[in-house]
Amino acid sequence: MSNQTEAETDLVARAETIASFEHQHTLLSRIQHALHSNPALVPLIVLVASVLVFGALLGTKFFSSFAMTLILQQVAIVGIVGAAQSLVILTAGIDLSVGAIMVLSSVIMGQFTFRLGLPPAVAVACGLAIGTLIGFINGWLIARIKLPPFIVTLGMWQIALASNFLYSGNETIRAQDIEANAPLLQFFGQSFSFGGAVFTYGVIFFILLVLALAYVLRHTAWGRHVYAVGDDPEAAELSGVNTRRILISVYALSGLICAFAGWVLIGRIGSVSPTSGQSANIESITAVVIGGISLFGGRGSILGMFFGALIVGVFSLGLRLLGADAQWTYLLIGALIIGAVAVDQWIRKVSA
Amino acid sequence: MSNQTEAETDLVARAETIASFEHQHTLLSRIQHALHSNPALVPLIVLVASVLVFGALLGTKFFSSFAMTLILQQVAIVGIVGAAQSLVILTAGIDLSVGAIMVLSSVIMGQFTFRLGLPPAVAVACGLAIGTLIGFINGWLIARIKLPPFIVTLGMWQIALASNFLYSGNETIRAQDIEANAPLLQFFGQSFSFGGAVFTYGVIFFILLVLALAYVLRHTAWGRHVYAVGDDPEAAELSGVNTRRILISVYALSGLICAFAGWVLIGRIGSVSPTSGQSANIESITAVVIGGISLFGGRGSILGMFFGALIVGVFSLGLRLLGADAQWTYLLIGALIIGAVAVDQWIRKVSA
Amino acid sequence: MEPILSARNLNKRYGRVTALDNCDFDLMPGEILAVIGDNGAGKSSLIKALSGAIKVDSGDIFLDGQAVNFSSPIDARNAGVETVYQTLAMSPALSIADNMFMGREIRKSGFMGKVMRQLDRPAMERIARQKLSDLGLMTIQNINQAVETLSGGQRQGVAVARAAAFGSKVIILDEPTAALGVKESRRVLDLILDVRARDIPIILISHNMPHVFEVADRIHVHRLGRRLCVIDPKDYTMSDAVAFMTGAKAAPGAVASAA
Amino acid sequence: MEPILSARNLNKRYGRVTALDNCDFDLMPGEILAVIGDNGAGKSSLIKALSGAIKVDSGDIFLDGQAVNFSSPIDARNAGVETVYQTLAMSPALSIADNMFMGREIRKSGFMGKVMRQLDRPAMERIARQKLSDLGLMTIQNINQAVETLSGGQRQGVAVARAAAFGSKVIILDEPTAALGVKESRRVLDLILDVRARDIPIILISHNMPHVFEVADRIHVHRLGRRLCVIDPKDYTMSDAVAFMTGAKAAPGAVASAA
Amino acid sequence: LITKTDTNPFFVKMKEGAEAKAAELGITLKSFAGRVDGDHETQVAAIETCIADGASGILLTASDTSAIVQSVQQARDAGLLVIALDTPLNPIDAADATFATDNFLAGELIGKWAAGKLGADAANAKIALLNLGISQPTVDVLRNQGFLQGFGIDLADPNKWGDETDPRIVGHDVTAGNEEGGREAMENLLVKDPMINVVHTINEPSAAGAYEALKSFGRENDVLIVSVDGGCPGIANVRDGVIGATSQQYPLQMAALGVEAIKAWADTGVKPEPTPGKDFFDTGVSLVTDEPVDGVESIDTTEGEALCWG
Ligand SMILES: Nc1ncnc2c1ncn2[C@@H]1O[C@H](COP(=O)(O)OP(=O)(O)OP(=O)(O)O)[C@@H](O)[C@H]1O
Ligand SMILES: Nc1ncnc2c1ncn2[C@@H]1O[C@H](COP(=O)(O)OP(=O)(O)OP(=O)(O)O)[C@@H](O)[C@H]1O
Ligand SMILES: [Mg+2]
Ligand SMILES: [Mg+2]
């Protein structure tokens, strides 16, 4: 169990031992220990294995830098939302409102530009601010009024989604209009490529976000406090963590990240559409859990979520390419979610 | 905190005290204590209050025995599924597959009768058996392979839903056909009335189910073990509870109850429709949580879920009758979910 | 005389930590065997292995001369081995009575009990109250109080009362007096002697040397995951025992045989 | 002499249970004050009130003669009052070092620390290891081990080391030796005397009368949620103290003044 | 008025049309909607609410056309006029009247147009079909199968999509009817076969998403996208060349006619009559494109814009 939470930087376990009973260092036991002390390693292995299997089955159609980066593009939004979700779940919470915050923010960015005529930069800032505000309200209700996160964000989900539809009047803003008048909104949709690999700015943002959060969680006091709050809030409070402030900041940050996801979403679909992102909450939770973060808080790493999101992306694309129809794909992804976690569990048991 | 789990039978707290410091028994403190020691009381009060408010606003249109029993009919299915969900949540689990199990079971009852030509009673038995089997598989994966319930039931949700669409071929079996050839399938749709009140057999089943489960949870060893497993599984195991058996039986029972919900569903909508029940999981969780059952397990009562389901029903019907637009209804229900739980929390704090 | 409960060559590792290292163990009929050792020596791990709460990596356990393989504490309990764990193993939200009868609830007689499987709460509450009074835990105000509302010491008292009430073959106590007051500790010691008088052997883990030397018939000294030696409290002083277990003094050459 | 930490008329109720009943309390500068009392007498509740971990229903607390109103343990800690709770208050999944520095992490100097707010792990680990060695907790194998993998006694040692390392005004210890071995208990007692030598007063809750009588300057006897009396260990025997706290003997009429 | 959802602009416009008409005629209108497409229970609850509320008639776009029949019967028994809008019930006479678009025809029009546009290349076209959801709602099936019929492909079972064996079909995928789903589905099918040159989309938002995907593959100029709906953004997309052709339907008219019919029923007890030759009142559908093809009647985008909704 040691170093459960210490995965990000040192993927090879340290041998720092004050005093130790003599015991054999076989290769297997080393692997087990490495797997064990680095929760992100298991999803990484599942990911690599699934890429190899699909690559073997599908050949270059799948195993090309183009297809690989396409998967990154497809998972970028779920992954960004999943980063927000990871923070919340590390505090033993859950955020069902992530998708709704994302869509509402993107609608605000669009409508503030086109309906109110604000400069795009200001509209984007407003969208980010509103996302943060909703997250802050979630956090405030959870930390101060001590309501269960599930219920608060369930309610907020409905509120944000309904506001989104009411405010947007269900109107879509077309990609061509945005391109002509407010290209800033599509900023994250721009891309560059080398070789066959295509990277959108949204994908770059996703990767940088994950790395930044991994650093913050591992190497700053705030990050350690997030883990402590998720682990045992009462103990954290008694040992000097301002649990309320941590919780509120986590939910507000989650709101901000979701608002960024909304901006990235505009880049991806070109237009501003109030009907997007309705299953983002379930999908982000799936990524988080496949990535090995415990729903009970305090255990797991955000890198795991990153691999978790990619696993889902690899399976979706791989299965479609194998010719499974939509219903079968849906069924197989269900089975594979269970399978991936079962493998994870099995590895952990072996090494226990 | 005393008697958190002891709500069902004695709604008035007992005064059984071995030795007690003297202290004042004001009326207020008595009320507080009663509220405190009976978690189901708070949702009951919210329920009564909301009925009164809507009654005042809408007059006899709402405040009629017809409308009241209509609410019962409308919440019966969510409520039955909520009963299954309550059991699972009491063990600190969650069951996202409830809705899918329900629909799949109803489709099996219908298709086995009409496609395979089995006698309706046999088809119903098959549907119930398959629901139980899926629940059993959930439980087995959770208890034996030790996979997280969220992930197992998330996967099972997708599997069951996709199987449902694949097997049914997206075909609806029409009410007229069922009425003519297999009225047993519509058994729970039959109703009797006295005064303006209309009770379907489905509603009666719902009420009896809640009462039976309340009895079982409170008065049998199995019920106490369910609470113990949810409270602290390790302690339960060490103190002699067969946690695996309890978990498996809870999920299997949950599957069976969902299959019954599928049968009731046929009665309610008359036909067998593979597209029903897609938000049953979120709605049942809403009912459970508004009813005061802790998502962390071990605390709360199934009667609370009953009132929780009714609260949602009252708000939906009341707002619809008030002519609120659907999005406004969702927005208000979102706000009211948060509000109801905030009130609950406030009462608990006062009396703490 | 045959040992009633014994173990040979138990090994248990947690990752890099060796909690049990080829550990042997013997409990004779009718005796009080104290297990002493430094923090982290592996005492709790040993008794968890004996009571089925953890699976050892290798090694054998014998009850009444028969090899046994408890896969869960329930198995051990059914075989008559009752344990109070250091972590107490109680369900915080449930009442004292519920906790005491967890896993061996009393059912009503007649129809309600046989068919409806209804619990006989009045009987359970009466017995629970009785057992607690025997231990003098009168500061507990309400038998239907949730365990989480009890003080640390009160919880310990409830756990000990539970084991004493139900153990039939072996009772294992992991630091039963650690959080108890003087008076309560006294009662627990008396209870231990009572139980022995009923000819049920007891394993007692404790850091409290006066207690150990007062009640134990033999003392198993545990060190670095294994049995260092077994001594007779009449032959050694408390400071000898402490010196053995901390390694300050070499242990007596051979493992002392049963008294 | 003025008390450094005192309380008047504290009341705290949990539902029907009265944990503190008009309780008074005084701690003099530089002294070791032991608090003894039956299980459930309200000792833990008293020190939780003093350290801001619970809000009392009524009553006043004074630090250095100033009325204070700690709304959280952080407030108390910032005022120099450091506490080891009976439940230890550690985050099980985090490492020993993380736990010791929880809420007062050391940041790197320079750009990485100021702007990137990076923690100085090597420093934190070095200090943590140092503190544990001072307490002789050498059985801990790895400073980056998660706390959940420690034995009960090892955890207690870490908690005490944390308080001793950081307390500046008052240190409160709720049963610090309950789960500790003889040797470790000895070290904790030495540490307590060391801390007093640094002129920092200590509140020690313990059921272990020999320990109490060995180190305490005064003994606060707690009974039924209030201070029964304060005695000087030199004037009374252990059995007197036990008799007072269990009510077997009437308490000395007036509250004894500070030594 | 009970619609499938109130988040799809189509139903939003339908609601606005009904509201405008109701205001004109002095009728009180209450609107209900399911949560998601396929949300059947909420519609049942809505019908019950209408009965409890003492309404005189219901305008309904059913999520499950067969399953809703029993509730509709209940309402009719209670003396309410039930008119199906947009989607006929199954059986169609379960409602007092139906004002609908012929969705199969809508699909057929774009299918014919696409075939005509490709000319001889139609024989080796590579077709992607972007549908609504895995639950295969009726409109979804009708448009999809209509398109294939129009294009000249054997339908196998016309009651479901996905069972065709024609090699020209690269694949079916689902979009949830929005841009995000449209883009992802298009990407998936493009990886499967990058040479796709005909894309059928269930509605215009998913077409816009598909276009973004094609753009990122650099193929936006050599692929024909066809769609159904005729919303104003969709027509604008046709004008801009994003969508090749779309079948326009008329929700405002459906709703307005429905409201009038209920008014007539409440005042005089007269039920509306279906379009001659069909068993429902066809509110019409027209193909909108700026590149007309011989043999397929169409209107241009200017005309389409004048008629578009939302
Ligand atoms: N679940 C676990 N995971 C990892 N290591 C563990 C676990 N349980 C115990 N250990 C380790 O095993 C060793 C023995 O622990 P054990 O609890 O048996 O000691 P003990 O003798 O009971 O100590 P104490 O007197 O302090 O209770 C310790 O070093 C501890 O850190
Ligand atoms: N959170 C709580 N809820 C309800 N009752 C509580 C709570 N905490 C403590 N109590 C009650 O308050 C009383 C005093 O408890 P406290 O923990 O202060 O006792 P203590 O003197 O520290 O006992 P011990 O020596 O056993 O630790 C007990 O009767 C206990 O049951
Ligand atoms: Mg131990
Ligand atoms: Mg205490």
Average pLDDT over residues D69-78: 87
Residue B24 lies in a domain: no
Q: Whose CA is nearest to atom 3 of ligand 2?
A: C149
With a 6 A CB cut-off, is D145 part of the ligand 1 pocket? no
Domain count, chain A: 1
Does residue A293 surpass a pLDDT of 90?
A: no
Q: Which chains touch D (3 or more CB pairs under 8 A)?
A: A, B, C
Radius of gyration of chain B (CA): 21
In a domain, B211, yes or no: yes
Spatial separation of the C-alpha atoms in residues C202 and C52, rounded to whole Å? 17
User: CB–CB of B175 and E67 under 8 A?
Assistant: yes
**A20 and C16 in contact by Cβ < 8 A?**
yes
For residue C83, report the distance from its CA to the centre of ligand 2, in Å.
25
Confidence of residue E310 (pLDDT cuts 50, 70, 90): low
Task: Note whether B320 contacts E48, CB cutoff 8 Å.
Answer: no
Q: Which helix (H) or strand (E) holds B138?
A: helix B120-143
Q: What is the per-residue pLDDT for B330?
A: 81
Chain B, window 34-73: residues with a beta carbon less than 8 angstroms from a chain A beta carbon: none
CB D18 within 8 A of CB D225: yes
Query: In ligand 1, which atom is closest to the CA atom of D154?
Result: 26
Q: Is residue E168's pLDDT more than 60?
A: yes
Which residue's CA is minimally distant from atom 4 of ligand 2? Answer: C149
Residues of chain B contacting residue C77, judged by C-beta atoms under 8 Å apart:
240
Query: Quick check: C225 and A21 CB within 8 A?
Result: yes
Q: Residue B31: inside a domain, yes or no?
A: no
Q: Which long-range contacts (CB under 8 A, 24 or more apart) does D232-239 make?
A: D232/D256, D232/D259, D233/D34, D238/D209, D238/D210, D238/D213
pLDDT one-digit tens code per residue, E238-264 = 988 889 999 998 888 888 888 888 888
User: Mind telling me how many Å the CA of B171 is from chain A's nearest CA?
Assistant: 15
Q: Which residues contact B325 (CB under 8 A, 6 or more apart)?
A: E6, E31
> What percent of chain C clears pLDDT 70, i.e. is strictly above it?
95
Burial of C69 (0-12, 13-18, 19+ CB in 10 A): exposed
Instruction: Please give the pLDDT value at position A352.
Output: 43
For residue A186, tell me if it sits in a domain. yes
- How far is ligand 4, taken at its centre, from the CA of residue A254, in Å? 39
Nearest Cα of chain A lies from the Cα of D127 at a distance, in angstroms, of 14
Q: Of the ligands numbered here, which is closest to the C-alpha atom of D245? A: 2
The CA distance from B342 to B112, in Å, is 47
Interchain pair B240, C74: CB under 8 A? yes
> What is the best residue among D20, D35, D45 to mutate for testing ligand 2's pocket, by most ligand atoms within 8 Å of CB?
D45
More reliable by pLDDT, A196 or B253: B253
CA nearest ligand 1 atom 3, residue: D149
Second CATH level (architecture) for the domain C5-80+167-246? 3-Layer(aba) Sandwich (3.40)
CA of C87 to the centre of ligand 2 (A): 17
Who lines ligand 2 at CB under 6 A?
Answer: B 1; C 149-154, 179; D 14, 17, 19, 37, 39-45, 86
pLDDT band per the 50, 70, 90 thresholds, residue C254: very low
Peptide bond into E91 cis (omega under 30): yes
Whether B32 is covered by a domain: the verdict is: no
Spans of all domains in chain C:
5-80+167-246
Q: Which ligand is nearest to the CA of C84?
A: 3
Mean of per-residue pLDDT scores for chain A: 85
- Most trustworthy range by pLDDT among A169-178, A191-200, C246-255, D201-210: D201-210
Under 8 Å between Cβ of A331 and B159: yes
- Smallest Cα distance from E124 to chain A, Å: 20
3-state SS, E218-272, equals CCCCCCEEEEEECEHHHHHHHHCCCCCEEEECCHHHHHHHHHHHHHHHHHHCCCC
pLDDT at C185: 82
Closest-CA distance, B298 to chain D, in angstroms, reads 20
State the distance from the centre of ligand 3 to the C-alpha of C41, rounded, in angstroms.
8
Looking at residue D167, what is its pLDDT? Answer: 81
Question: Chain B residues contacting C, CB < 8 Å?
Answer: 1-6, 14, 16-20, 215, 219-222, 224-225, 227-228, 231-232, 234-242, 298-299
Query: Nearest Cβ partner of E134 from B162, B272, B323?
Result: B162
Q: Across the interface, do D88 and A235 touch by the CB < 8 Å criterion?
A: yes
Within a domain: B33:
no
Mean pLDDT for chain D? 85
Residue C184 at interface with chain D, using a CB cutoff of 8 Å: yes
> Mean pLDDT of all residues in chain E?
85
Task: Quote the domain boundaries for residue B57.
Answer: 40-351
Q: Give the max Cα distance, chain D.
A: 66
- Between chain A and chain D, the number of residue pairs with CB atoms below 8 A apart is 117
Is the CB of residue C23 below 6 angstroms from any atom belonging to ligand 1? no
Rg (CA), chain E: 19
For C38, which residue in chain D has the nearest alpha carbon? D181
In a domain, A229, yes or no: yes
Q: Give per-residue pLDDT as tens, D96-134.
A: 888 989 888 888 888 777 777 888 888 888 888 888 887
- What is the number of the ligand closest to the CA of C206? 1
Give every residue of chain B whose pLDDT is below 50, as ranges: 1-24, 351-352
Ligand located closest to C16 CA:
1
The pTM score is: 0.82
| Residue located via tokens 């019930």 | E89
d(CA A216, CA A211): 9
pLDDT band at A340, cuts 50/70/90? confident
Highest mean pLDDT among A169-178, B12-21, D60-69: D60-69
| CA triple A190-A195-A199, angle to 5 deg | 25
- Count C/D contacts: CB-CB distance under 8 Å: 102
Q: Is C117 on the interface with B (CB under 8 A)?
A: yes
ipTM above 0.85, yes or no: no
In a mutational test of the pocket of ligand 2, which residue from C145, C149, C156, C183 has the highest number of ligand atoms less than 8 Å from its CB? C149
User: What is the reported pLDDT for A210?
Assistant: 97
Residue D259's pLDDT is what? 34
pLDDT score, position A24: 47
Q: Is D141 a residue whose pLDDT tops 70?
A: no
CATH number of the domain at A140, please.
1.10.3470
What pLDDT is stored for residue E220 in this prediction?
A: 85
Instruction: Identify whether B335 is part of a domain.
Output: yes
Beta-carbon contacts below 8 Å between A and C: 20
**Looking at ligand 2, which residue's alpha carbon is closest to its atom 24?**
D39
3-state secondary structure C183-245: HHHHHHHHHHHHHHHCCCCEEEECCCHHHHHHHCCEEEEEECCEEEEEECCCCCCHHHHHHHH
Q: Which among A6, A18, A240 is the nearest to D73, CB-wise?
A: A240
Give B5's contacts in chain C (Cβ within 8 Å): 93-94, 146
The pLDDT value recorded for residue A30 is 65
Mean pLDDT calculated for residue range E169-182: 86
Q: Residue B228 and residue C144: Cβ atoms within 8 Å?
A: no
Q: What is the mean pLDDT of residues A49-66?
A: 87
Q: With H, G, I as helix, E, B as strand and everything else as coil, classify residue C172.
A: strand
Among residues A253, A308, A254, the alpha carbon closest in space to that of A285 is found at A308
Distance B7 CA to ligand 2 centre (A): 24
